[in-house]
Amino acid sequence: MQAKWGFAFSGSQLDRAAGLRGNSDRIEALWRAGNAAVLPLWRGKVPARGDALLWVGHDHPVLADAADAPVFLGLGDGKAWFGADISDWRPEDDPLPEPGVFFDPSEQRHPALGQEWRFVELRGIMAALSARDAELAAIAKSVLGWHRSHRFCSACGAQSAAAEAGWQRKCASCGASHFPRTDPVVIMLVTLGNKTLIGRSPGWPEGMYSCLAGFVEPAETLEDAVRREVAEETGVRVGNVRYLASQPWPFPSSLMIGCHGEALDEAITLDPAELEDAIWMTREEMAQVFAGDHPRIRAPRGGAIAGALMANWLADRID
């Protein structure tokens, strides 16, 4: 199923070797071994050149900027894979990211990495990476981002510390253990006859439209989440809903759950707080979009489940 849909961050058969996470001696030995490969991340960005990520050894100078212990990502290809956060480093000459933008095009060069390697947004290169690099980068970005935003115990407020090779945080004050979170998000291919419903959020790049999506609420089924989100954002009622596929989405740490929803009507009542626009597209119009010939809407970004859902609907392959 994953290969059929063709999207990033999954399918490389990485051995996460979760059974090793509690063995600190074994993790330390893997870290010190000559075949350890470390991906340094800076504020969620990855070091890249074209379609290649930069993996360094455990003693590389760039890791001097890592404030915390690395996260063990798994085993594969004869290597032990790690991720390290060097976000405390501050570039001297390169621009800093603008807060709150949908996509940050700025690039940063670390003096220890050379001019050819730059920290870039993973979103911009995800479709060009190998399946293994994309999956490892997604894990590192999600887990390291969780550590940066969950430094204090939610039970007592004391500062917690990384444990279990980076896959937990433990509080020395009250003994509570905390685990990385993943937020479930439904993303819906909503259809009615020969049409599909797409929309755009405020602040998206010009011409960018996508399937509707939204977070699953507590005590809510996926089917109910699809119906609620579509109704809240567009006023369109949805009947039958079925699951299609899923994709890890490390922006910052979600699981995109692709569903097909059958609309009961096509009248749109837009919620401007949620969407800037929503429209019905025929298959013929969507074919223009994918060909790059539509006057308003640009083709979907490669590697994302939204584009895969629309492409498979266009080809009549959603079963």
- The domain spans of the chain are 2-148, 150-180, 183-314
pTM for the whole structure? 0.94
* Residue 49, amino acid: R
Both tokens of 170, joined, read 């433990």
Q: Are strands 168-171 and 71-76 parallel, antiparallel or unpaired?
A: unpaired
Q: How far apart are the first and last CA of the chain?
A: 11
What pLDDT was estimated at residue 1? 34
∠ Cα 174 177 180 (to 5°):
145
What pLDDT was estimated at residue 246? 96
What pLDDT was estimated at residue 7? 84
What pLDDT was estimated at residue 159? 97
Instruction: Tell me the C-alpha distance between 285 and 293, whole Å.
Output: 9
Which candidate, 289, 308, 310, 311, places its Cα nearest to that of 298?
289
What pLDDT was estimated at residue 103? 86
Please report, in tens digits, the pLDDT of each residue of the chain (319 residues total).
Answer: 343 456 899 889 999 999 999 999 999 999 999 889 999 999 999 999 988 999 999 999 999 999 899 999 999 999 999 999 999 999 988 788 777 788 889 999 999 998 899 999 999 999 999 999 999 999 999 999 999 999 999 999 999 999 999 999 999 999 999 999 999 999 999 999 999 999 999 989 999 999 999 999 999 999 999 999 999 999 999 999 999 999 999 999 999 999 999 999 999 999 999 999 999 999 999 999 999 999 999 999 889 999 999 999 999 988 7
CATH number listed for the domain at residues 183-314: 3.90.79.10
Name the burial class of residue 49, with classes exposed (0-12), middle (13-18) and buried (19+) by CB atoms within 10 angstroms of its CB.
Answer: middle
Name the burial class of residue 246, with classes exposed (0-12), middle (13-18) and buried (19+) by CB atoms within 10 angstroms of its CB.
Answer: buried
Name the burial class of residue 61, with classes exposed (0-12), middle (13-18) and buried (19+) by CB atoms within 10 angstroms of its CB.
Answer: exposed
Question: To which H or E segment does residue 307 belong?
Answer: helix 305-314
